[in-house]
Amino acid sequence: MKIPLTKALPIGKNEACQTYYDSKQSLTKALPIGKNEACQTYYDSKRSKTFLTIAPTNNRKLVNIIKNFTSRFINTMELDSNSLKRMSDTIRFLAVDMVQKANSGHPGMPMGLADIMAVFHSYYRHNPKNPKWLNRDRLVFSGGHGSALVYSMLHLWGYDMTLQDLQNFRQLGSKTPGHPESTHTEGIEVTTGPLGQGVANAVGFAFAEKYGKNILEDIINHKVYCFCGDGDLQEGISYEASSLAGHNKLDNLVVIYDSNDITIDGCTDLCFTENIEARFKAQDWDVTTIDGHNFQEIDTAFLKAQKQTKPLLIIARTKIGRGSASMEGSHKTHGAPLGDEEIKISKEKAGWDLEPFHTPKDTVARFRSAIERGELLEKQWEALVSQSSQKDLLAKLVNPNFDEIVYPTFDKADATRSTNSEILQSIAKALPGFIGGSADLAGSNKTELKGMGEFPQGRNIRFGIREHAMAAMTNAMANYGIFIPFNSTFFIFSDYSKPSVRVAALMGSKNFFIWTHDSIGVGEDGGTHQPIEQLSTFRAMPGFYLFRPADGNENVACWKIAFRIKGTCGFALTRQKTALLDRSNVVGSVAQGGYLLSKAKNPQVTLVASGSEVGLALEAKEVLEQQGIPTSIVSVPCFDLFNEQDDEYKQEIIDPKTEVVAIEAASGYEWYKYADAVIGMDSFGESAPADKLFEKFGFTVENIVGTIKSLLNH
């Protein structure tokens, strides 16, 4: 028979069993009772439950032990409630002490969720000694302000997070910043803080697991858990992502909604009264509502999650600041320390040691059982992989070989969105982890991967008109470990996704943002659809590299570099055709962000441009040199990379002894770092054919030549 072990139970010390377990320690591994006695523990590779397997026996003493053990298990929750309370109080007061010592932070949410986390511990499949184990459950805290809870759990589970780290909460150089950052702290799956994004991140992880399971079969089989709050569900991105999750029936996704009815300003009924259960059911989710402080109800909800057939929302009715002597349920606990006196009274009321950062050995032992459980799970998984017919595919996904990409070459003028489409096909053929889609603009963005099928069986994802969720989801997919995602929309709609682009750059995620229709060249759609300030916005973003290639071959070079950059990359691509460039006598390279495309002898003028304006600069050069003005042309497909070069290279490419004029169909103020004048946009665009707009706003050979003559005369 199989007896599920979800909590610690005393076995007793006797002749048949050489080992016993303290009732306050999690039982995760039963030791052999005898060489020929079939009492052993095993972990089902597809479930998080632990079982004690007992074969038929005539050993009377062993039978009695089993009977006693079984009777105790039947009332596990009743017998173990005190231990669970100690576990939750350990979490609760660690978070309280962290915030108090830092004199900064958010104690209310960690206190309210502590009871749920005590039970969640038994369901969460992970390995603290290898936080990057591929088949681990993914855990996202969308409410990143509750980071004291996250760090407390990492410490208790046995990650590389010491008590000293907790005591350095929110301090310079610590592992415990105010909001959790995936590149800063081991065990954090994705950087969260801006509310709502974590919900979309969780959906992205669930997408990754779903596709991974389809191509790798039983190698991938895990859950995605997300904790969110009222603020997350008020943000529109959570609706976008949840809608996609329901549409795709993500049965691997569990969202725990910390419904405490409190935001910073006070009670949520000030502005948030919708029926969340009805909202999620309308999006085809399963929904269950529990008392977030009732251990039995919490356990029942997580048990249900193991058998779900749709995404599951657990609405947990909680009290913010749970355990605070006089402030429980108050918005005052949201974003400020409780104060020494309130903490003292609260700990006394709970029967807790007054010493700050107190961690009882028995509860630590329970939490640390995650280590041996996780190591055993991973070893089982490794054995499974070694026997899998998909192990070679897994190896390619884990270690993509970019040298295997056979890029196209281009010999005629074309729109860079069109040349980019051919490049995407080449990448997808070589890299099985290259996956992505568009926000309902695949035909216009030209990003469909031909012959690659539709998600979840294939690699083309239909995000619908959900730019913000799309960006956050692909951020998570980039962090998943085996995929290289891209997402696409019109450049003007990058505004909808910018908050998630910023987090991608903060994480350095290899998520590729493909934006087409990059200037007033959009034409007839008018000012609402013509990007003006967007190039400058993303160039100002730290850790983000924006490429604006001038033609198809430069586009290829940009992709080669983008795959090797330690940072997040975007592409701004044209709707209209651009000239094919002659690179027979270049100085420098695309890899350095900018290069001399055409060097004049004893130049008086240097024209600097990107994208579609490079061809225009070449036309102006011809006229200027006919008039006796030697002119060099510089193409700068990546302003951000060019900025990183040393002064010697920059001055070799952009000669400071010449009059430097930058040309770009955008606001372009950043060009004044190098240019004496900028021919750019200082207004919104208008509705007209593209050629008429370029003429109206001064992107003509005549205007460029006139501007340069004026500069030289002065």
Active centre residues (catalytic): 467
Half-sphere exposure (Cβ direction) of 366: Cα atoms closer than 13 Å: 29
Q: Could you tell me the sign of the dihedral formed by the alpha carbons of 153, 157, 159, 160, in that order?
A: positive
Q: How far apart are CA 661 and CA 329, in angstroms?
A: 62
Instruction: State both tokens at 375.
Output: 């190591």
Measured in whole angstroms, the distance separating CA 328 from the mean position of its chain's CA atoms is 33
Task: Give the DSSP H or E segment for 462.
Answer: strand 460-462
Quickly list H helices, 193-288: 197-216, 230-234, 236-247, 276-282
Instruction: State both tokens at 302.
Output: 């997580």
Angle at alpha carbon of residue 386, lines to 384 and 429, rounded to 5°:
105
Q: How far apart are CA 284 and CA 55, in angstroms?
A: 43
Q: Cis peptide leading into 456, omega within 30 of 0?
A: yes
Strands 312-317 and 253-259 turn out to be: parallel
Query: 592 with 639: CB under 8 angstroms?
Result: no
Q: How far apart are CA 653 and CA 592, in angstroms?
A: 10
Q: How far apart are CA 248 and CA 609, in angstroms?
A: 44
Q: How far apart are CA 572 and CA 438, in angstroms?
A: 15
Q: How far apart are CA 412 and CA 364, in angstroms?
A: 67
- Rg for the chain (alpha carbons), in Å? 30
Please report, for residues 581, 599, 634, 671, 707, the alpha-carbon distance to residue 618 in angstroms, rounded to integers and kept in the order given.
9, 11, 10, 18, 15
As beta bridge partners, residue 229 has 258
User: How many other C-beta atoms lie within 10 A of the C-beta of residue 501?
Assistant: 25
Residue with tokens 């610590």: 174
Amino acid identity of residue 492, one-letter, is: I
